[in-house]
Structure 1
Amino acid sequence: MIKKTALAVVTLALAASCVSPKVYKDLEAKYADLKSENRKLSDENEALLDAKTAAENELKQLKSAYDEAVAQRDKLQSDYDATKANYDALKASYDALEKNSSAAIAANSQKNRELLAQLEAKEQALADENARLEKLKKDLEERSNRVAELESVIASKDAAMRALKDAISRALTDFEGKGLTVEQRDGKVYVSMENKLLFESGSWAVGSEGRRAVQQLGSVLGENPDIAVLIEGHTDNVPYQGSGPLTGNWDLSTKRATAIVNILRENASINPENLIAAGRGEYAPVATNSTPEGRAKNRRIEVILTPKLDELSKLLSDN
């Protein structure tokens, strides 16, 4: 088995070094498409977070309108109660005066009719306000449910990414202190492997220890089919001095990223459509290039794991 693996590595290195310009350009075009798709997913994630914020703001406005409607309803109820008490008092007075004066009875009857008209108007206003209050209450409940659904899906995605980070950390425990780190930020998981773990200087052939690390990472990714995997190659700013098919640091970083993708593709459980290889050259450093230690940190492979947002997109489109 070891001989077969070694033979596969040599064959892969020879094949990568003999890639024709046309094939290489095709790979670059595919990378551009995939990179655009990755950017679209990132934009969608930001749009979804903006949608959540907008929904929360709208919820606050509905709550404020609801509170104002309750206050208005209570005021109308108070006016209604006062008018009804006045009406009852006048009716009692009417009953007392009925025995004494037809003129007083006529005047009191007119006032009663006016008060009855006022009472009916206030009853109608109270009914209208109650209907508006019910509509606001229903809208408030619908917005609350939508915000709760968005928060639930986002929390579920975050929990899934935390679980993925923990699983990767456990799988790569053997490589702690060997230039490998696992972090979670901005809803994504970042696996960074310094080149000293993976490649010889100027080479894109993955060593045995690095291959084992990538394979163990692949065993976790194979159990998470809903994760987009972007592999980025990075170099320091020292110009490439080697000979052969490489044109520079950017070319080297691309070939190294592709080498990692090829190892991951050996795992049949990983969907190739989820894999993206990208070369960043020296243009995304994480440390200074003015010291040997900083340049060593900049020479790295970063595996960026992003959850797919299909569920959130469907939830937004349904609302």
Structure 2
Amino acid sequence: MRKTSYSVITLFLFIGLFASCVVMSPKKYNAIIAQKDSLSLGWENARMKITSLEEIISGLKSDSTLLQAKITDLEDKIKGMNDSFTSLRSNSSSEISKLEANLKKLEADLQKREARLREVEDILRKRDEATNALKNKLQKALLGFQQSGLTVDIRNGKVYVSLTDKLLFSSGSIVIDEKGKLALRELAKVLKTQPEINISVEGHTDNQRVVNLGQIKDNWDLSVLRATSVVRFLTETEKIENGRITATGKGEYQPIEEGSSSEVRSRNRRIEIVLSPKLDELYNLIK
């Protein structure tokens, strides 16, 4: 009896449980399955996006670290530049003062140089005026000898009185003849009035070899001895101061013109008396 009771109770419980269950249709079941699959796919996509974003965030953090290092480096450089600028600005005043002092010194030196240049130009102008005046005096004093081969001209600021050998010497001789002495006396009269003039007597010959002239070995000897004869006449006879006159021999090596004709050789055989002003004042200025 008790066993029958248990069977009845179990039956009733089964009937109740079956009655309480709701039967699900296939359509609804498929919809639930589809929704589950969609949620699974969305979750997977979301997980992949999260992974990608995490990678991006990691890269950005790395870039941020690099940028921060660069910013720190630039800030250090800017600080160094500011320090240099501050130092330069503090030193600029003293440097400008030095430059201004140097500029003033240069301007003063320039003014001195310009003043000296004006003095030199004034001395040279006076020299040129004196040279031209001396040339005119000599041309007037020696006018009567110009047809005999005497010339007066200016070269390089000096007066050249050129006398052909036939005006002073016989052929091959070193003794001044009377006509030559007359010309030298007239020249000496002018030179005595010009004590500031230095005198150089130069002997020149042609290119023909010297033969049968005793102790005269060559044209060097002949040119020097003729120049010396003129110097002795001017100093010993005409009393020109020894200290302002010199004698030199040029031989055949400074001809007036090249050639071997008798006319050319005659012009090359000459005594040149070179007159130049004393330039002590000028030399003192340019030391």
For Structure 1 versus Structure 2, the TM-score category normalised by the shorter chain is 0.5 to 0.7
In structure 1, what is the Cα distance between the partners aligned to 2:220 and 2:96?
73
Correspondence for 1:228 among 190, 195, 198? 198
In structure 2, what is the Cα distance between the partners aligned to 1:297 and 1:144?
45
1:189 aligns with 2:159: yes
- 1:276, distance to aligned residue in structure 2 (A): 0.9
Q: TM-score, normalised by structure 2?
A: 0.61
- TM-align CA RMSD: 2.6
Q: Which amino acid aligns with 1:259?
A: S
- 1:256, distance to aligned residue in structure 2 (A): 1.0
- 1:168, distance to aligned residue in structure 2 (A): 1.1
In structure 1, what is the Cα distance between the partners aligned to 2:163 and 2:148?
8
Partner residue in 2 for 1:109 = none
1:142 aligns with 2:91: no
In structure 2, what is the Cα distance between the partners aligned to 1:256 and 1:131?
62
Partner residue in 1 for 2:254 = 284
- 1:144, distance to aligned residue in structure 2 (A): 2.1
In structure 1, what is the Cα distance between the partners aligned to 2:239 and 2:214?
35
Cα 1:223–1:128 shift into 2, 3 Å: same
Asked if the contact 1:190/1:303 (under 8 Å) is kept, the reply is: yes
Give SS of 1:287's match.
Answer: coil
Structure 1 residues 100-179: aligned runs within 5 Å: 137-179=107-149
Correspondence for 1:212 among 179, 182, 204? 182
Asked if the contact 2:185/2:238 (under 8 Å) is kept, the reply is: no
1:304 aligns with 2:264: no
5+ residue gaps, structure 2, are: 1-93
Cα displacement string for residues 250-283 of structure 1 (whole angstroms, at most 9, x for unaligned residues): 2122111111111111456521011111122212
Q: TM-score, normalised by structure 1?
A: 0.55
- 1:232, distance to aligned residue in structure 2 (A): 1.0
Structure 1 residues 69-108: aligned runs within 5 Å: none
Cα 1:217–1:192 shift into 2, 3 Å: same
In structure 2, what is the Cα distance between the partners aligned to 1:280 and 1:143?
39
5+ residue gaps, structure 1, are: 1-123
Asked if the contact 1:257/1:278 (under 8 Å) is kept, the reply is: yes
Cα displacement string for residues 71-126 of structure 1 (whole angstroms, at most 9, x for unaligned residues): xxxxxxxxxxxxxxxxxxxxxxxxxxxxxxxxxxxxxxxxxxxxxxxxxxxxx999
Asked if the contact 2:149/2:167 (under 8 Å) is kept, the reply is: yes
In structure 2, what is the Cα distance between the partners aligned to 1:316 and 1:239?
45
Q: Which amino acid aligns with 1:263?
A: F
Partner residue in 2 for 1:101 = none
- 1:139, distance to aligned residue in structure 2 (A): 4.0
Q: Which amino acid aligns with 2:165?
A: N
Asked if the contact 1:285/1:298 (under 8 Å) is kept, the reply is: yes
Correspondence for 1:258 among 182, 204, 228? 228
Asked if the contact 2:172/2:213 (under 8 Å) is kept, the reply is: no
Asked if the contact 1:237/1:289 (under 8 Å) is kept, the reply is: no
- 1:141, distance to aligned residue in structure 2 (A): 2.9
Cα 1:133–1:262 shift into 2, 3 Å: closer
Asked if the contact 2:199/2:276 (under 8 Å) is kept, the reply is: yes
In structure 1, what is the Cα distance between the partners aligned to 2:135 and 2:96?
57
In structure 1, what is the Cα distance between the partners aligned to 2:98 and 2:202?
62
- 1:175, distance to aligned residue in structure 2 (A): 0.9
Asked if the contact 1:198/1:210 (under 8 Å) is kept, the reply is: yes
Asked if the contact 2:188/2:238 (under 8 Å) is kept, the reply is: no
Asked if the contact 2:163/2:270 (under 8 Å) is kept, the reply is: yes
Q: Which amino acid aligns with 2:248?
A: A
Give SS of 2:222's match.
Answer: helix
Larger radius of gyration: 2
Cα displacement string for residues 172-204 of structure 1 (whole angstroms, at most 9, x for unaligned residues): 011122111111111111111011111110111
- 1:132, distance to aligned residue in structure 2 (A): 7.3
Cα 1:176–1:144 shift into 2, 3 Å: same
Cα 1:236–1:137 shift into 2, 3 Å: closer
Cα displacement string for residues 199-219 of structure 1 (whole angstroms, at most 9, x for unaligned residues): 110111111111110111111
In structure 2, what is the Cα distance between the partners aligned to 1:190 and 1:209?
20
